[in-house]
Amino acid sequence: MKKFDNVYVKRFLYFNIFVIKGKDGDILIDTGFIGMRKSLKKWLDNFNIKLIILTHAHVDHIWNVSYLKDLYNCEVAIGKNDYINLDNSIINTKGKKKIYNLWAKLMNFGMKKFVPEVFDIDYFLEDKQVFKKYGINLEIFNLEGHTDGSIGIKYKDYLFVGDALVNRKLRFVEVAFQNQDNDMAKESFYKIIDLKPDIIFVGHDKEISYSKLLNSIDYNK
C-alpha cells in the first residue's frame, strides 16, 4: 500500500484501488474485478467506506460494486454519460492504432462474457461539478474517450483518471490502447494536461507525475 496525504493506494493483481479518507467517512474509487473480494474486504475493513465513485463503466472497475454497496451500506456515483454503459454488452472499443484492433476485439468479447451484478446509482456526476461529501471536496471532469462517460476526479493536486491514461513505458505515458472514441481519448489527454495535477492516478499502472505527462505530448500527437 502507498499513502499520499490522506489518499491510500492498494494494488490487487492488475488493478489499483483508491481510498480518500474524510472527516466523516471515506470514499472508494473503483472496485476491481473478479477474484478480489476476499482480499479487497480485508483491506477496506480498515476504512469507513461511505461512497464508491466509478471512473468508468468497464467491468474490471465495477465488478465488486454490488457486493461492496451491500457490505458497507454505501452510496455509488458514476459519470452521467456512462450510465448506459453499465450494461457491458454494449461497450465496443476500437484500437487507437491498427496494431491494437485485435486486442480491442478480444476485450470486447471478454467484456460481453462478464455481466456484473445489478446495483443502484445514487449520484450522476457531470463535467466541472464540485462534489462535496464527508469533508472531502472533489471536482469532476469529463474525460470521454476510453468510454463515453469516463470521468476524472480531482482532489487537491491529485487526479484519478481510471483508464484514460496508461503508464507502461519508461519515458512516456499515453492514452489507452483501445477506446470507444479514440479522437475524444486524445482530447482528454490534453484536458488532463490543462488541469495541471501534481500526480495522476491510473487504473492499472504506477502513478504519473505531471512532468512525465508533459514529456509525453509529442508522443501522443
pLDDT of amino acid 172: 94
The DSSP output letter for 13 is T
Give the pLDDT confidence of 185-218 residue by residue, as tens digits: 999 999 999 999 999 999 999 999 999 999 999 8
d(CA 76, CA 51) in angstroms, rounded, equals 6
pLDDT of amino acid 135: 95
> What pLDDT band is residue 22 in, cutting at 50, 70 and 90?
very high
Across the strands, what pairs with 153?
Answer: 140, 160
pLDDT of amino acid 91: 67
> What pLDDT band is residue 90 in, cutting at 50, 70 and 90?
low
Helix (H, G, I), strand (E, B), or coil: what is residue 101?
A: helix
How many other C-beta atoms can be found within 10 angstroms of the C-beta atom of residue 89? 12
pLDDT of amino acid 181: 94
Mean pLDDT, range 78-101, rounded to an integer: 82
pLDDT of amino acid 155: 98
The CB-side HSE value for 52 (13 A sphere, CA atoms) comes to: 27
In this predicted structure, the answer to whether residue 88 has a pLDDT above a threshold of 70 is no
User: Where is pLDDT greater, at 112 or 201?
Assistant: 201
Hey, what domains does the chain have and what are their CATH numbers?
2-220 (3.60.15.10)
pLDDT of amino acid 97: 86
* Cβ–Cβ < 8 Å for 121, 83: yes
Angle formed at CA 214 by CA 208 and CA 215, multiple of 5 degrees: 90
In this predicted structure, the answer to whether residue 87 has a pLDDT above a threshold of 90 is no
> What pLDDT band is residue 173 in, cutting at 50, 70 and 90?
very high
DSSP 44-98: HTTS-EEEEEES---HHHHTTHHHHHHHHT-EEEEEGGGGGGGSGGG---EESSG
In this predicted structure, the answer to whether residue 103 has a pLDDT above a threshold of 90 is no
Counted residue by residue, the chain has a size of 221
Q: Which residues contact 80 (CB under 8 A, 6 or more apart)?
A: 124, 125, 126, 149
Give the pLDDT confidence of 30-51 residue by residue, as tens digits: 999 999 999 999 999 999 999 9
pLDDT-above-70 percentage for the chain: 98
